[in-house]
Amino acid sequence: MYDICIVGSGAGGSPIAYELSNAGFNVVVLEKGENFTEKDFSKDELGVSRRDMFTPPLWEQKHIINEYRQSGEFTRYDGAESGWSFWNGSMVGGSSNLMSGYFHRMKPKDFELLSSYGEVKGANVVDWCITYDELEPYYEKVEKVVGVSGNIVEHDYQEPRSTPNFPYPMLETNGVTKWFDRACEELDFTPIPTPRAVLSESALGRNGCYYSNFCGSYGCSSGAKGNARAALLQKCSAKVVTDAFVYRLDSKDGRVTKAHYYTKHGISHVVNAKIFILAAQAIESSRLLLNSKNSEFPHGLANSSGEVGKNLIFSAGGSGSGRFIFEKLSKEQQKVLMQPGLFFNRSLQDWYDYSDGCRIYKGGTIDFLFEHQNIISRVNRELYDENGNIMWGDKLAKKIEKQLTTSRVLTFEVFNDWLPTDNCNVSVEEETKDKYGVPVGVINLNSHPQDLEVGEHLAQNAVEVLEAMGAVEIEYSISSSPPPNLVAGGCRFGDNPKTSVLDKNCKAHDLENLYVTDASFMPTGGSVPYTWTIYANSFRVAEVIKKELQRHI
């Protein structure tokens, strides 16, 4: 019997594997995918196809998606037929292998959204049951152990820190950042160097970044990116079992007793442990609990509250871009613009909250970055002429050559709160099974109108910066469609067992030995990407579990 069994090897599970196994406890990690390493992470776009190489085929494992409208009506999509995928990386280290590594801490007000901004009609907004101060030491720990590069610039929404700066210096940036900084100064905005979970120099037994610019949706072939495999699992003694899809958890007398998993060939195995950690990704963790119902929990394991799967959230916002063309630049500026590889790495948080004159709104973060290096996606945007007609032959070839060699696109991404609502949740569909014969997850999608309003406000400010920099072809889109790689909620933590699934330490209210440590615990998501907070919270919970186990030695 193991001391700890962890389901999932990403940012939610790996810190616990790292801490507990290095403290001498017997830990097993069950991972559905394979163990890819740096040598497997090719930049071949056709071979890797961004995420597709690392996610299950939709005809074998799919979701059902119900997209709700404000009227309450919805459209049903079969994942396999529509191609709509919510898989984010089935491999050791999970989707942290494929992240861009934009690491912003949540702010103190993010932990008290209800208290700070008040109720929002139609949204299930609550305060967290822990404070920023309780999580701050673990944000710092992630900086040191996982590796975060950056430089602190004081601004109105700079969160309190226990250390003056990041442990690793900023990544090298393209000279266009100077244009950005000047434009922000003219507009009275505060440009922030974007913190990245990418090592700027060799450290922690890993290589520094070599600036390939293939970060988002690609695995890191240098080891610089702070994914859970490279940063944690390779530095601990936990046993990692791959090809292990956990389909049911058994319980008896208020304790989880067994985890059942299938291999890809459908062979079933059982794991026994004293403590079970669920960190399979927000959607899949809820699905597993709902599929693990028994006589003690007829509506799903740990679900006496009826809250498992409820209040699913994503990251609201959208993206935009502007193009810099040689015709508007000096020879020296042209040279600077086309510097290869170097990051852009600038962010704005001037509107982390803002007022419309009537009330204060929770705002968000804008990250600026050069368009991804992927040549296929860059070429695909050039297939049409100014009238929207598809092009081909010499005309297309000349346009592609001109756009790729005499211009460059700067993009921005907007992150603001996706407010939790009743119609955004996870359920299961008994009639529809995956390749293992297990009921698939149903993702019910619904966004709140305020999400779009806030995203629009942020995007308009981003456009001001691009205009001040001299960009052309400026465009943006703020959408209610969720980004599948930024998902949280489904197993809220809270002090009241009737309205939450987990307690403040992410232990199930209903069970003595079950913890959920992926993004499922989050009742609200803040206005930043989630990964740093998932890492930090998992290190926090690891310390709680370690103390509990040591008391019984």
What is the residue-wise DSSP string for 245-264?
Answer: EEEEEEEETTEEEEEEEE-T
Which residues, including other chains, have CB under 8 Å from residue 99's CB and lie 6 or more apart? 197, 215, 216, 225, 227, 485, 529, 531
Residue 145 is predicted with a pLDDT of: 98
Residue 476 and residue 305 in contact, taking contact as beta carbons nearer than 8 Å: no
For 126, 136, 293, the CA distances from 450, given in Å and listed in that order, are 16, 29, 36
Q: Containing H/E element for 398?
A: helix 393-405
Amino acid identity of residue 430, one-letter, is: E
Tell me the helices (H) and strands (E) count for the chain, helix number first. 13, 20
CB-count burial class (<10 Å; 0-12, 13-18, 19+) for 59: exposed
In order along the chain (553 residues), what is the average pLDDT of each group of 10 residues? 97 98 97 93 73 84 91 90 92 94 97 96 97 98 98 96 97 97 98 98 96 87 96 97 98 97 96 98 98 97 98 97 97 96 96 92 97 85 90 93 94 97 96 96 96 97 98 96 94 98 98 98 96 98 94 75
Amino acid identity of residue 289, one-letter, is: L
Residue 12 and residue 517 in contact, taking contact as beta carbons nearer than 8 Å: yes
Which tokens sit at 421? Answer: 């609502």
Residue 135 and residue 537 in contact, taking contact as beta carbons nearer than 8 Å: yes
Please give the model's pTM, rounded to 2 decimal places: 0.96
Residue 241 is predicted with a pLDDT of: 98
For 40, 190, 191, 333, 347, the CA distances from 178, given in Å and listed in that order, are 36, 13, 10, 11, 13
> May I ask the CATH class of domain 2-551?
alpha beta
Instruction: Count other Cβ atoms within 10 Å, centred on residue 5.
Output: 26
Q: Containing H/E element for 140?
A: helix 132-142
Spatial distance between the Cα atoms of 202 and 204, rounded to a whole number of angstroms: 7
Residue 85 and residue 78 in contact, taking contact as beta carbons nearer than 8 Å: no
Spatial distance between the Cα atoms of 372 and 343, rounded to a whole number of angstroms: 10
Instruction: Count other Cβ atoms within 10 Å, centred on residue 108.
Output: 16
Q: Residue ranges of the domains in the chain?
A: 2-551
Residue 83 and residue 500 in contact, taking contact as beta carbons nearer than 8 Å: no
Residue 136: DSSP 8-state: H
Residue 165 is predicted with a pLDDT of: 98
Residue 125: DSSP 8-state: -
Instruction: Count other Cβ atoms within 10 Å, centred on residue 399.
Output: 16
Three-state secondary structure call for residue 82? helix
Three-state SS annotation for 426-490: EEEEEEEECCCCCEEEEEEECCCHHHHHHHHHHHHHHHHHHHHHCCEEEEEEEECCCCCCCEEEE
Spatial distance between the Cα atoms of 243 and 245, rounded to a whole number of angstroms: 6
- What pairing do the DSSP bridges indicate for beta strands 27-30 and 239-241? parallel
Q: What is the sign of the dihedral through the CA atoms of 545, 548, 551 and 553?
A: negative
Which tokens sit at 475? Answer: 């465009």
Spatial distance between the Cα atoms of 302 and 266, rounded to a whole number of angstroms: 26
Which tokens sit at 413? Answer: 């991404």
Residue 313 is predicted with a pLDDT of: 98
Which residues, including other chains, have CB under 8 Å from residue 380's CB and lie 6 or more apart? none
Report residue 429: phi and psi, to 5°: -115, 105
Q: Residues, the chain, total?
A: 553
Residue 376 is predicted with a pLDDT of: 84
Three-state secondary structure call for residue 54? helix
Q: What is the sign of the dihedral through the CA atoms of 149, 155, 160 and 162?
A: positive
- What pairing do the DSSP bridges indicate for beta strands 268-278 and 514-516? parallel
Residue 412 and residue 471 in contact, taking contact as beta carbons nearer than 8 Å: no
Spatial distance between the Cα atoms of 456 and 462, rounded to a whole number of angstroms: 10
